[in-house]
Amino acid sequence: MLGTMLKLLIGGMRPSLDVLLAGADSHLNSFEHRVRPAPNASPRTPFESGLPKEQISMMNLSWAQRRQVIPRVLPLMVNVWAGARMYDGKFQPRELQAPATFFEELETLARSLGASDIAYVRVPPDAIFKDKGVPHEYAIVFTVEMDRAPINTAPSLECQLEVMDGYRDLAVISRRLSELMHSRGYAAYPGTALGGVTDYPQLAELAGLGAIGYHGLLISPHEGARLRINTIYTNIGNLPIRTENEHLWVRDFCDRCRKCVRSCPPKAIFEQPRPRGNSGMQCIDHSSCRDYFTQNYGCAVCVKVCPFSQAGYERVRVGFKGNPDGPHQRIGSDHAAESALPIRPGFSTTGDQA
């Protein structure tokens, strides 16, 4: 994987994030009894656009620009590779339950490494992408913040570099937390930082870290939509899982705001999220988003213009008077009222906010 990435950046090889992710997914072959997706689970949206090389922004960087990219990509891929090695089947967990003091230690370490927030979830089968799987049914979910100034330049290489920094931080944090968990006898399998086998925004919402907005991205109380998400799958059965999510009012605000809908350059965000047919909702026209995303450094305009990213969560919350006619979507029939529908991300303009 590392060699392939270097060829992409130095040798001019045509990029394929789908190929890189498929290589990362292959480590799941070590788990014969992994947790499988629901029969109607959605596939992971492919990143490959099919555009000619001349239209792919990251394939037309100057050497000065590549010198900015390489120092970010190398630590990202090294840590992704180190995390993938933890799936080799050699580690045998000794513990199934953790004391409260361990969770305090884990969260302290996560925040010292740059995590904005951390929470816990039981992975529902419909959050696992079609034909994929996870080693265990429990997961630790955490986020890292992306700075406002570079995000405000979107779409640009400067913004893309900030996104890469976020991916790098996710990979480092997931590896370090997993190493701590191994040292205490717990199973720990890092998710792939830049795209994984589960729907990260859905897991983060289930964990209570925020709510998914009309742009398909998680909106958190700390950094709005300016964040990246990663997971660690574990066997710890007594995770302190939250049962309520206080942030779901966010979608009532989205129903009135829709600034991301109006601001999306390729008009790829639906006016209203649409039912997928598998009890989920789709926010994005995948092909329209993907092509513009590929041509324009990963875009991220929807992240930039989101009021939660600019004014901040608390200021929006205090100023919003509510919308009694809003959709009030929830996570779905397995987790809330049978009539409720979740908003799930399609292909987000920042790479599924992984």
Say what the pLDDT of residue 330 is: 47
Q: How many C-beta atoms surround the C-beta of residue 276 within 10 A?
A: 15
Element (H, E) at 271: strand 269-275
Which one is predicted more confidently, 313 or 344?
A: 313
Residue keyed to tokens 């795209």 = 195
Residues 285-293 have a mean pLDDT of 92
Greatest CA span in the chain, whole angstroms?
A: 56
Q: What is the pLDDT of residues 45-99, one digit of tens each?
A: 888 888 898 999 988 999 999 999 999 988 988 888 888 889 988 899 999 999 9
One-character DSSP codes across 177-241: HHHHHHHTT--EEEPPTTS-SB-HHHHHHHTTS-EE-TTSSEEBTTTBT-EEEEEEEE--TT---
Bridge partner residues of 190 (DSSP): 232
CA distance 295 to 266: 11
Indicate the DSSP class of residue 96.
S
Q: How many C-beta atoms surround the C-beta of residue 95 within 10 A?
A: 14
CA distance 218 to 212: 4
Per-residue pLDDT for 336 more than 70? Answer: no
Say what the pLDDT of residue 29 is: 81
Say what the pLDDT of residue 348 is: 30
The first and second tokens of residue 189, run together, are: 């399998």
* Mode of pairing for the β-strands spanning 188-190 and 211-212: unpaired
pLDDT tier at 320, thresholds 50, 70, 90: confident
pLDDT tier at 40, thresholds 50, 70, 90: confident
Per-residue pLDDT for 163 more than 90? Answer: yes
pLDDT tier at 346, thresholds 50, 70, 90: very low
Per-residue pLDDT for 23 more than 90? Answer: no
The set of residues, in sequence order, having a beta carbon less than 8 Å from that of 294 and lying 6+ positions away, is 47, 49, 51, 55, 56, 57
Considering only 51-55, 107-111, 328-332, which range has the smallest mean pLDDT? 328-332
Which one is predicted more confidently, 223 or 277?
A: 223
Per-residue pLDDT for 352 more than 90? Answer: no
Say what the pLDDT of residue 59 is: 87
Per-residue pLDDT for 326 more than 60? Answer: no
pTM (predicted TM-score): 0.88
| CB 44 within 8 Å of CB 215 | no
Say what the pLDDT of residue 334 is: 35
Task: Identify each DSSP E strand in 63-152 by its residue range.
Answer: 117-122, 138-145
Say what the pLDDT of residue 215 is: 95
Q: How many C-beta atoms surround the C-beta of residue 271 within 10 A?
A: 10
The set of residues, in sequence order, having a beta carbon less than 8 Å from that of 161 and lying 6+ positions away, is 68, 69, 72, 150
Residues 255-272 have a mean pLDDT of 95
If you average pLDDT over every residue of the chain, what do you get? 86
Report percent pLDDT > 90 for the chain: 64
Q: How far is CA 133 from CA 126, 142, 171, 228, in A?
A: 11, 20, 20, 21
User: What is the domain partition of the chain in residue ranges?
Assistant: 1-354
Q: How many residues are recorded in the chain?
A: 354
Q: What is the pLDDT of residues 225-244, one digit of tens each?
A: 999 999 999 999 999 999 89
CA distance 284 to 311: 24
Residues 247-267 have a mean pLDDT of 95
Per-residue pLDDT for 341 more than 50? Answer: no
Q: What is the pLDDT of residues 6-19, one digit of tens each?
A: 555 554 555 567 77
Say what the pLDDT of residue 325 is: 57
